[in-house]
Amino acid sequence: MPMNSDAILEVVFATPLRKRFDYILPTDCTNENIVGCRVMAPFGSKQQTGLVVALKTNSEFNYDKLKPVISRIDTKPILKPIMMQLALWASRYYHHSLGDVCFSMLAIKYRQTEPFQLPQKPYWSLVAPTKNITLST
* pLDDT tens digits along 19-31: 999 999 887 777 7
Domain spans, the chain = 3-111
Amino acid at 45: S
Q: How far is CA 77 from the centre of its chain?
A: 5
pLDDT of residue 134: 66
Quote the pTM value.
Answer: 0.77
At residue 9, what are phi and psi to the nearest 5 degrees? Answer: -95, 140
Query: How many H-runs (helices) and E-runs (strands) does the chain carry?
Result: 3, 6
Distance of alpha carbon 33 from alpha carbon 64, whole angstroms: 25
Quickly name the fold that domain 3-111 has: GIY-YIG endonuclease (3.40.1440)
Helix, coil or strand: residue 72: strand
CA distances from 40 to 25, 91, 111, 126 (A): 11, 22, 12, 45
pLDDT of residue 127: 63
What is the full per-residue pLDDT of the chain (137 aa) written as tens digits?
445 556 899 999 999 999 999 999 887 777 788 999 999 999 999 999 999 999 998 889 888 899 999 999 988 899 999 999 999 999 999 999 999 999 999 988 888 777 767 677 877 766 656 666 666 76
pLDDT of residue 30: 77
Element of type H or E holding 134: none
